[in-house]
Structure 1
């Protein structure tokens, strides 16, 4: 059994219905995770790429270390400024207790990408994997919480996790309130060793530090899918309705306004049928889009808009659409949900865009 299949097996059973989104869970000795990422792999990834802050960043004692302490600004001949990592400065900071974070290593290292894909198959959502490396027992981030659920995989060394639980249930990235810091002592203190795996729901306060010299672990961030996402998708879907597209009866009588709301209430209730969640997940994660012409071109105009030329036709879109179309230019087939996440648009908006291109015979939608 492969490392990835062992991970999937452990996440099966009663975990999704019993613990997911509710409480933490620990699995001991899941697999030898050295096949996913080693120290040498991390050195290679950092050495090959232009991994400037904040994608690669350092933290110590709950504070973000200014990039100027381990990188220098470089201006290219095209007047593009980027931050070049200085090995000596980086090593000095790590020696002094800094923790290194590298975001989205699944985009840079194939075994990590396969782990992300295995987790996406379980949780039916986008997974991003970040690397955390530390050389001392100094805490990098202090006591904090994440706005998404995580699966933590301990690769090498050991990490002590102090778990405090949530002070606000299901907090969001853009929320109406900020969770209050925990006032009590940890409800649990655990040590993860190589081969162990931890699940932590969003909103759970925690503090982490290495216990025995060097530590290397992966934090697999799970895309948070909430009722707000379902309602956003539903709102886009209901744009086909004449009732939804109609002007709000702002100047109508109270009786006419009540009649309109009754019509609207019925259409929303009908759309929220028992299979609506399944329909939403299918649209987001199963349907893939691809361009069907090999000569599509994407440029920017003077107004900051995106211009697509394909199949002898031209379209002008708002700038966020670049993040939808750029990944498709090489013929790739990608889920609508992933394109929506990359662009900041809703799944419904991406679906409408792709539908327009399908009708022009320059794109296609399919199931993988």
Structure 2
């Protein structure tokens, strides 16, 4: 639990008192404060390959138009829209927009390694998002995430409002126009971590002192849609039927075989097994070593040897 320790301090105390229960500001002794630098974000923006939906610009809960921050690139004889335009992005951020960079673990080695380790420790998929907000500005309006979130403040500070965790499962992820009274109002500084439980509405405003940059580590948990999708996959396993029965008798025979197959599969499945099947949604499963990814350099050394 060393990665979790770097976020929460005492893992046992955190898991026993706050996890899935209440929002909390944490002050770990060795937070991953310098994991993602502004220079890393600049490199990604100017590299030429960053494209929507990996980035978005938002202000006061409104998504900016695609043309406000992207450009069209020509590759061969084809044109492709949606690529980050660094000049446009900086102008929009300078005028008050928040830059949202999604799933940076797909391209940032440090974020990938941290997400992979935390994922292995918690047994859940973990994604990494970066938010860059000017002073006095708000990117997203109060909203709920379908994930537990660790907010790691990297630069500047943000003033947060967090509201109550839903009392039941009757809620949807997305904007929450009536979140109720705040249960936590706090300013998060570099080196501090804010934990937000799944479903708790929250919003933040950048504070004075330069750009506010934070890393959100989202820990996904399955819901009803994941159970339904996994059940369909399970029911269709080992199913072999003719795709086009040629007559009415063949159609009825196929229907009978389909029902028999589903009944047999359902009869052998328990709720506990279905939940276990969706507990971890990462394609490579828990414990994936993201630090040992394949590389052209390694391949070249292997071929040279």
Contact 1:52–1:85 (CA under 8 A) maintained in structure 2: yes
Q: Residue 195 in 1 paired to residue 191 in 2?
A: yes
What's the CA shift for 1:163? 1.0
Matches within 5 A, 1:194-273: 194-212=190-208, 213-226=210-223, 229-230=226-227, 232-239=229-236, 247=255, 264=263, 268=266, 270-272=268-270
Contact 2:36–2:154 (CA under 8 A) maintained in structure 1: yes
Q: 1:61 to 1:6 in 2, by over 3 A?
A: same
Matches within 5 A, 1:99-248: 99-166=98-165, 169-170=168-169, 171-172=171-172, 181-182=177-178, 184-212=180-208, 213-226=210-223, 229-230=226-227, 232-239=229-236, 247=255
RMSD of equivalent CA atoms? 3.8
Alignment partner, residue 39 of structure 1: 38
Deviation by residue 1:53-94 (Cα, 9 ceiling, x = unmatched): 332221112211123223333343331322343333322211
Alignment partner, residue 72 of structure 2: 73
SS in 1 for 2:143: coil
SS in 2 for 1:204: coil
**RCO higher in 1 or 2 (8 Å CA, sep ≥ 6)?**
2
Deviation by residue 1:253-274 (Cα, 9 ceiling, x = unmatched): xxxx9xx9xx95x974652176
What's the CA shift for 1:162? 0.5
Q: Which runs of 5+ in 1 are unaligned?
A: 250-256, 289-326, 331-368
Contact 2:21–2:197 (CA under 8 A) maintained in structure 1: yes
| In 1: Cα distance, 2:284 partner to 2:110 partner | 23
What's the CA shift for 1:280? 5.6
Contact 2:7–2:28 (CA under 8 A) maintained in structure 1: no
| In 1: Cα distance, 2:182 partner to 2:8 partner | 30
| In 2: Cα distance, 1:183 partner to 1:239 partner | 41
Alignment partner, residue 245 of structure 2: none
| In 1: Cα distance, 2:161 partner to 2:45 partner | 30
What TM-score do the two structures reach when normalised by structure 2?
A: 0.73
| In 1: Cα distance, 2:228 partner to 2:81 partner | 40
Aligned residues: 272
Q: 1:285 to 1:100 in 2, by over 3 A?
A: closer
SS in 1 for 2:201: strand
Contact 2:36–2:110 (CA under 8 A) maintained in structure 1: yes
Deviation by residue 1:86-106 (Cα, 9 ceiling, x = unmatched): 333322211111111111111
What's the CA shift for 1:47? 2.0
| In 2: Cα distance, 1:205 partner to 1:115 partner | 25
| In 1: Cα distance, 2:228 partner to 2:10 partner | 28
Moved more, 161-170 or 63-72: 161-170
What's the CA shift for 1:157? 1.4
Contact 1:131–1:219 (CA under 8 A) maintained in structure 2: yes
